[in-house]
Amino acid sequence: MTFIKPKFRHPDLPKNKLGYTLSYYEGALSTLCAGCGHDSISAAIIQSAFEMNIEPHKLAKLSGIGCSSKTPTYFLGNSHGFNSVHGRMPSVATGANMANKDLIYLGVSGDGDTASIGMGQFVHVIRRNLKMIYIVMNNGCYGLTKGQDSATADNGSISKAGIVNQFQAIDLCGLAIELGATFVAQSFSGDKKQLIPLIKAAMAHNGFAFINVISPCVTFNNNKGSTKSYDFVRGHLEATGTFDFVPEMEEITTTYESGEKHAIKLHDGSLLQFNKLDSDWDPLDRFSAMKAVHQAREKNEIITGLLYLNQGAMDLHELVNTCDRPLNTLKKEDLCPGNGALASINAGLR
Amino acid sequence: MSDKLKINDFVVRFANVNGTGSASANLLFCKAIFRMGIPVTPKNIFPSNIQGLPTWYEVRVSEKGYLGRRDGIDLMVAVNAQSMEADIKSVRPGGYLLYDSSKKLPDHYRRDDIYFIPIPLMEICNETYTDARLRLLFKNIIYVGALAELMQFDFSVFESLLGDQFKGKEKLIAPNLNALKLGSDFIKANYRGTFDLKVERRDLLKDAIMTDGNSACGLGAIYGGATFAAWYPITPSTSVVEAFMEYADEFREEKETGKRKVAIIQAEDELAAIGMVIGANWNGARAFTATSGPGLSLMNEFLGLAYFAEIPLVLIDVQRTGPSTGMPTRTQQSDILEAAYASHGDTRHILLFPSTPKECFDLTATAFDLSEQLQTPVILMTDLDLGMNDHISEPFSWDDSKEYQRGKVLDYDDLEEIERFGRYLDVDNDGITYRTIPGTHPTKGSFFTRGTSRDEYAAYTENSPAYQRNMDRLVKKWITAREYVPSSQLYQVENNSEYGILFFGTSQYAAEEAMDMLKEEKFLVDGLRIKSFPFDQIAIDFLQSHKYIFIVEQNRDAQMKSLIMIELGISAEKLISVLNYDGLPITATNIVHQITHSLERVEKYTTV
């Protein structure tokens, strides 16, 4: 059976500054299970790219293997994509980024792809502060192989087959902060209102931007007793605040309900505004962010929002001091020393 | 007892302790002979260790220009007490032992059939130097001085060599010359015995250079336009990327800004290294990695992706000995099958086989063209012997009129002309399709690169005919590749014999010498050196037109023979293996011995 997505769109649909409608940022029809949290994240990515006026060909989407890694087919259909091998997306993204510093790199991974087979690469891409957006669609299980526990499954969580997970969960946000990630956020696939500003802020961040999105697996991990089910997640969400992303030079129109108002100016001049609900926590302070993550874990809560931000660190290009022109645009004249230079090299070898 | 005088034809082996500065002294000895215009070849036989274990340095001097290893040690310089007993035993009868006589040699070490040349190296050092480090370092220079006196070196060659070595640190020249003189004076004053190994100045080397293959690969990557390298340190490939870094410091700095026209990332492992290289090549930068056997094993999955998704990449495999960790500091040609068919599923990879530093330079640069033209990995199959030992080589040269061959890449204007872009559409019927680089055109040319099966327009498919069509096209591309890869080298215009000898890589040195030795025995064999896989027509014709072909290779399982049988369907009866897999470079006498031995068997077989 073939799924064909109708191409017809109403002519009066709103367009962004580039003249593209939202549909221009869509991808092929999803083949994931109906109700999959991942599809909501794809929709949030589409909305974010549309609102951020991103030229589709200036963004490259990369992924590994798994349900989550299939999603780049379902969003940003006019962007180049690379579905690589299991757990190795960070290395491919690193090479791609080194080749052309002018594109936006959006990596999508899952909890198996990141926290198990790809743990090594995840850890090291953070160390290098590669400028990219790294989204984990975290459902605590291996969907494509029918529901085995992943390394982010909580200790004590009960699988669909009724088996209690005996192992400790890996907390990806806590780990990312520990490793020095410069942008760490956590969200829920069902909370579009929070997720979209977070993705937009990640797109504006000059460094490694990590978003761990709890995204329930409706088929294999949505049962009673699972700590990654829709019901459980909704019941245990603890937002650190409400967020709004304001691009540079745009009038601030969002209204806030209550609490302490904050705004962080991002690298490109845009603003991330948020209403802080917890007075102890300061997203610009690593220790306080770590503490907030640990406290939430103790209380069995899922803390969401932008947990930590560090805008002072150099990204990988700055660290290795590459030239301003993208490396993939350099020509023979820029690169080859020519026969003349060989004379002295040869002389030095005699 | 004395043999006839051996002028410019002998083997010296130095037995040292690793990490005591012997390497630079031994190189000084070797380089002095090189500067006197005499063909010389050093082999560093070193342990997987930083300090303390025995290490050997073997220098063959050959006026005839034979640059392979040779069996039989004419002179042993034994300055390592740990290995002394075995070192003394390994000298050929009639040979020499130069040793540190500061301590008395145990009686049972004595041999009646070799000459002993005692020098109290430690005593001289202790008398001359107060600093412990200087005592250790100059001990080595003193024995070089002694050798130079014994062999009648032209001493002025040291002055110019040290002058070049210590440019900018001139005050180090005099102490080194002095140490050389200490050794030479001691011999003059004390040694009255026979010595028949002499060096005479010649002008046989013309404009040759002396360097190692790994440095040449690093330089080749600079000339070939690599802008990105990712790597994980592993012996014996580490110095490839280190050389690339050094040359990048020299040649890749943007004058105006001080920024760099290159990025080099030390990855967390070989998987990440090749993943990064794939990402960079996918995004239009020329990128490479270097590794050795264990790294190649780890890279298999990604090599399959690059083959199937058709992403160019250059991989330099500096082969070492053995499966698993094996002997990390010994040489071998044992990754051939692993490299040719790396990854699960049906795959085949382009291999190039350099023999000299000049070829390391040329073929590394060529590899970037080939990988982009053919949109597939190209693996340079070098080895520890070529990579880490110094070799006499033709000088490097570069044709400035040559452009980089970037292959079938569509730019903005090309895309404007095209109605519908199909990434895997075989437009030219040669199996090579057109690719686009991300960011080229706002509305055209984007596609999804994937390791899963897809159709001609890069859309995911599980349709069997579509999968098979694609796999068949990759075979067509492989056949096209035969016309792109470097040609084999023939050693004769027409066949002289029904016997042929086929070799590749560092076996070249010993094989050429073996051909001469066989000729002296009135046994003519035709020679062929393979430079690439897929095999070219010259190699195919050679294999088909000879009744028997000896295949010389440095591994246990006759991997090149297997590859020839699998790929060309040549019958096993025609192919006679000449193998060497002890971890040391193959020698000509070994080849001749194996050939003669197998000829006896062949003749017996054919006359029955």
**What does the pLDDT look like over A224-258, one tens digit per residue?**
999 999 999 998 888 877 778 777 645 434 343 44
Decide if B395 and A342 are in contact by the 8 Å CB cutoff. Answer: yes
* Average pLDDT over every residue of B354-382: 98
Chain B CB contacts of A102 below 8 Å: 439
* Average pLDDT over every residue of A56-60: 97
* Band of pLDDT at residue A104, cut at 50, 70 and 90: very high
Degrees to nearest 5, angle at CA B416 with B414 and B418: 75
Tokens linked to A99: 């080749």
pLDDT at residue A62 in the model:
98
**The residue to which tokens 């409706």 are assigned:** A218
Decide if B400 and A338 are in contact by the 8 Å CB cutoff. Answer: yes
Which ranges of chain A would DSSP assign to H, the alpha helix? 37-51, 67-70, 89-99, 111-115, 119-127, 172-178, 192-204, 230-236, 286-298, 316-320, 332-335, 338-348
Mean pLDDT of chain B: 96
Residue A98's φ and ψ, nearest 5 degrees, are -65, -35
Decide if A99 and B222 are in contact by the 8 Å CB cutoff. Answer: no
Chain B CB contacts of A97 below 8 Å: 279
Residue B484 CB coordination number (10 Å): 18
pLDDT at residue B466 in the model:
97
* Band of pLDDT at residue B601, cut at 50, 70 and 90: confident
pLDDT at residue A6 in the model:
66
Residue B460's φ and ψ, nearest 5 degrees, are -55, 135
Tell me, yes or no, whether B426 and B318 share the same domain. no
pLDDT at residue A306 in the model:
92
Residue B483 CB coordination number (10 Å): 10
Q: What percentage of residues in chain A have a pLDDT greater than 90?
A: 77
* Domain extent for B440: 409-463
Among A167, A170, A139, A171, smallest CA distance to A155 is for A167
More confident call, B20 vs B357: B357
Q: State yes or no: pLDDT of A113 exceeds 70.
A: yes
> What's the structural domain count of chain A?
1
> B400 CA to chain A: closest CA distance, Å?
6
Q: State yes or no: pLDDT of B383 exceeds 70.
A: yes
CA distances A223 to A36, A136, A306, Å, are 14, 21, 29
Tell me, yes or no, whether B86 and B10 share the same domain. yes
In a domain, B589, yes or no: yes
Distance (Å, whole) CA B156 – CA B139 = 21
Where does a domain end: B358, B393, B428? B393
**The domain that contains B231 carries what CATH number?**
3.40.50.970
CA distances B187 to B150, B183, B418, B559, Å, are 7, 7, 81, 50
In a domain, B98, yes or no: yes
Tell me, yes or no, whether B332 and B224 share the same domain. yes
Q: Exposure pattern of A82-101 as b/e (b: 16+ CB <10 Å)?
A: bbbbbbbbbbbbbbbbbbbb
In a domain, A7, yes or no: no
Decide if A349 and B210 are in contact by the 8 Å CB cutoff. Answer: yes
Q: Supply the ipTM of this predicted assembly.
A: 0.95
Tell me, yes or no, whether B219 and B284 share the same domain. yes
In a domain, B507, yes or no: yes
Q: State yes or no: pLDDT of B599 exceeds 90.
A: no
In a domain, B29, yes or no: yes
In a domain, A328, yes or no: no
Tell me, yes or no, whether B600 and B538 share the same domain. yes
In a domain, A224, yes or no: yes
**pLDDT tens, A307-336?**
999 999 999 999 999 999 999 999 999 999
Helix, strand, coil distribution of chain A in percent, nearest 5: 35, 20, 45
**The domain that contains B511 carries what CATH number?**
3.40.50.920
Tell me, yes or no, whether B14 and B147 share the same domain. yes
CA distances B416 to A179, A231, B82, B421, B444, Å, are 45, 51, 73, 10, 8
In a domain, B204, yes or no: no
Tell me, yes or no, whether B135 and B180 share the same domain. yes
* Domain extent for A63: 22-323
Q: What percentage of residues in chain A have a pLDDT greater than 70?
A: 92
CA dihedral B384, B389, B392, B393 (to 10 degrees): 40
Tell me, yes or no, whether B386 and B456 share the same domain. no
Is B209 strand, coil or helix? strand
Distance (Å, whole) CA B511 – CA B385 = 15
In a domain, B361, yes or no: yes
Decide if A57 and B257 are in contact by the 8 Å CB cutoff. Answer: no
* Band of pLDDT at residue B175, cut at 50, 70 and 90: very high
Tell me, yes or no, whether B216 and B251 share the same domain. yes
* Band of pLDDT at residue A259, cut at 50, 70 and 90: low
Is B236 strand, coil or helix? coil
> A157 CA to chain B: closest CA distance, Å?
33
In a domain, A194, yes or no: yes
CA B388 to chain centre: 7
**The domain that contains A90 carries what CATH number?**
3.40.50.970
pLDDT at residue A221 in the model:
93
pLDDT at residue B27 in the model:
96
**pLDDT tens, B566-584?**
999 999 999 999 999 999 9
Kindly tell me the number of DSSP H helices and DSSP E strands found in chain A: 12, 13
B433 membership: H or E segment, kind and range:
none
Decide if B263 and A327 are in contact by the 8 Å CB cutoff. Answer: yes
Chain B CB contacts of A345 below 8 Å: 219, 396
In a domain, B483, yes or no: no
pLDDT at residue A256 in the model:
37
CB B315 within 8 A of CB B381: no
**pLDDT tens, A169-213?**
999 999 999 999 999 999 999 999 999 999 999 999 999 999 999
pLDDT at residue A297 in the model:
87
Where does a domain end: B167, B198, B229? B198
Tell me, yes or no, whether B108 and B26 share the same domain. yes
* Band of pLDDT at residue B55, cut at 50, 70 and 90: very high
The residue in chain B having the minimum alpha-carbon distance to the alpha carbon of residue A80 is B446
Degrees to nearest 5, angle at CA A248 with A243 and A254: 35
pLDDT at residue A240 in the model:
77
Tell me, yes or no, whether B341 and B304 share the same domain. yes
pLDDT at residue A268 in the model:
79
Distance (Å, whole) CA B44 – CA B27 = 10
Decide if A339 and B442 are in contact by the 8 Å CB cutoff. Answer: no
* Band of pLDDT at residue A4, cut at 50, 70 and 90: low
**The domain that contains B142 carries what CATH number?**
3.40.920.10
> What's the structural domain count of chain B?
4
**pLDDT tens, B85-100?**
999 999 999 999 999 9
Report chain A's C-alpha Rg in angstroms.
21
Chain B CB contacts of A324 below 8 Å: 257, 259
Chain A CB contacts of B394 below 8 Å: none
CA distances B564 to A54, B288, B335, B471, B546, Å, are 53, 28, 15, 22, 14
Tell me, yes or no, whether B158 and B223 share the same domain. no
**pLDDT tens, B295-343?**
999 999 999 999 999 999 999 999 999 999 999 999 999 999 999 999 9
Q: Exposure pattern of B104-120 as b/e (b: 16+ CB <10 Å)?
A: ebeeebeeeebbbbbbb
